Amino acid sequence: MNRTLTAFTLCFFAVVVAISLATTTIQARAATDGIVDPYQAYSYETMLEDATELQRRYPELIRLKTIGTSVEGRNLLLIEFGNGDRRIFLNGATHAREYITTSYLMYMIDQYAHAYANGGIYENFDIKTVLEGVTFAILPMVNPDGVNLVQNGLYSTQDPAAVARIPIHRYDREGYISWKANINGVDLNRNYPANWNVDRAVNAPSSSRFKGYTPLSEPESIAIMRYLNSNMSWAYISFHSQGEGIYGWNDPGEWYSQQLDSMVARIMEESGFRKLTGTSDNNYGTFGDHIRSTFHKPILTIELCEYVGSYPYPDEDFDRVWSPAKTVSLIIAEEVMKMDAMSYWAFQSDYLYRKLSRNLFITMFTLHFLP
Ligand SMILES: [Zn+2]
C-alpha cells in the first residue's frame, strides 16, 4: 500500500515537472517570437530586413517607403504603421552613436503589431483603436551612414580618406564610436533653418556640433523637410538617447497646449522621465525648434536612456531602455486623437501657404487676361 502510494506520488511529481518544463519552453518561445532582436548593434541592413519581414507579416498595418537617400546613397526608409487619418511623425538615430533609438522604434512596431493581431490590447492600451485612429510615420534611422561608421569603423565608409580629415570633437572622446554627425561631418540636429546661425561654436565639419555651411545642406535633412512639407502631421517625436528626459514640454498659449501638457504629464508618470532644459531643443537649427516654428504642432525630443558617456548605449541593456518608455507613442496617439481638427487645419506650414497663395495668384492672373 505504502509502496503504491510512493510510486503514485513520484509519477504525479514527474507529470508536474514535465508540464512546467513544457510551459517554460512555450513561454520562452513566445518571448522570442518577434521579428526584431534589439539586443545587438542594430545595423542599417538588419533594419531593412526586419522592416520587410514586418510588412510581410502585417500587410494590413505596415507600408514601406523611401523618402530620399543619404550622402553615401543609402535609402532613407520610412515605415507607415497604422490606418488612421491623423499622422504622427517619429524619428530615430539622427545622431549616429544613438542608434539604440532605431532598435527601440523597430521593436516598438513589432510589439504593437503583435498585440494588434493577438487580442488588440497592449499594456492596458486599446491598440486597435489607436492604430485605426492614427498612422505613425516612422523614420527609424535618419543617419544611416553615421550609424555604419560607428558600428563598422572608418574603412567601411565610401571615402575613408575624406572622413579621416574630419576632426573628432573633443567631447567625443572614444573616436569613431562616439560619432554623432552625418558622414559629411554635419550635425543633423543643427542643420535646420530656424535660428540656424545662432550656434557658432564649431565652424567646420566635425564628429558633432557643426551646423553645416548653409541650412538644409544635407540630403538627410532635405529629405525629411520635403516629406514633412507635403505630409502634414499632428505631432512629432524625435528620439535621442542621452538623459532620460523630455525637451519641448513647454508651449504655452498654443492651440495644442492642453494636449501637450497631458502628453508630458502622462509620459513622466509612466516612464519616470524628467523635464529637460538647455541643449538639444534650444534655438539653434534643431529639428524640434524648426518643427515648432514652422508647423505649430507639438514636437517632443525624448532622450530615452540614462547618460552613459560619449559612446553607444550598451545593446544588451535594451530592456532598461524599453521598459520605462514602451507606451510613449501610445500616449501621444491617445492625446492626438483628442486634438481639435479645426485648429489643426488652421496651422499649416509656411510652405503650404506659399504654394497655395502662388497658385491663387496664377489663377487670378490667368482669369484676368482671359477674353
Ligand atoms: Zn542626440
CATH number for domain 44-150+209-359, candidates 3.40.190.10, 3.40.630.10, 3.30.43.10, 3.30.470.10? 3.40.630.10
- If you measure from the C-alpha of residue 338 to the centroid of ligand 1, how many angstroms do you get, rounded to a whole number? 30
The pLDDT, as a whole number, for residue 17 is: 45
Find the 257 Cα to ligand 1 centroid distance in Å. 25
pLDDT tens profile 123-179:
999 999 999 999 999 999 999 999 999 999 999 999 999 999 999 999 998 899 999
pLDDT tens figures, 4-28: 545 555 545 554 444 444 444 333 3
208 falls in which pLDDT band (50, 70, 90)? very high
Residue 282 banded pLDDT, cuts 50, 70, 90: low
Measure 325 CA to ligand 1 centroid, in angstroms. 17
Ligand 1 centroid, distance to 217 Cα (angstroms)? 19
Ligand 1 centre to CA of 4 (Å) is: 69
CA 206 / ligand 1 centre spacing (Å): 15
DSSP for 89-143 reads EEE--SSGGGTHHHHHHHHHHHHHHHHHHTTSEETTEEHHHHHHHEEEEEES-S-
Ligand 1 centre distance from Cα of residue 182 (Å): 12
State the pLDDT confidence band at 307, using cuts at 50, 70 and 90: confident
Whether residue 332 contacts residue 278, with contact meaning beta carbons closer than 8 Å, is answered with: no
Q: What is the pTM of this model?
A: 0.86
**Residue percentage of the chain with pLDDT more than 70:** 87
Name the residue with higher pLDDT: 281 or 251: 251
Name the average pLDDT for the chain: 89
Q: How many of the other CB atoms lie within 10 Å of CB of 32?
A: 7
Distance of CA 358 to the CA centre of its chain: 34
Please write the tens of the pLDDT for every residue from 27-67: 333 344 799 999 999 999 999 999 999 999 999 999 999 99
The Cα angle at residue 50 between residues 244 and 24, in degrees rounded to 5: 80
- Residue 124 CA to ligand 1 centre (angstroms): 30
Whole-number Å distance, alpha carbon 363 to ligand 1 midpoint, is: 45
For ligand 1, the distance from its centroid to the CA atom of residue 196, given in whole angstroms, is: 17
Least confident of 80-89, 195-204, 321-330: 195-204
Quote the ligand 1 centre to 242 CA distance (angstroms).
Answer: 7
- Residue 153 pLDDT: 97
Tell me the CA–centroid distance for residue 89 and ligand 1, in Å.
17
Query: pLDDT value at position 7?
Result: 53
Report which of 204, 88, 198 is spatially closest to residue 137, judged by C-alpha positions. Answer: 88
For residue 330, pLDDT beyond 50: yes
CA of 63 to the centre of ligand 1 (A): 27
CA of 180 to the centre of ligand 1 (A): 7
Ligand 1 centre from 240 Cα, in Å?
A: 4
pLDDT for position 11: 46
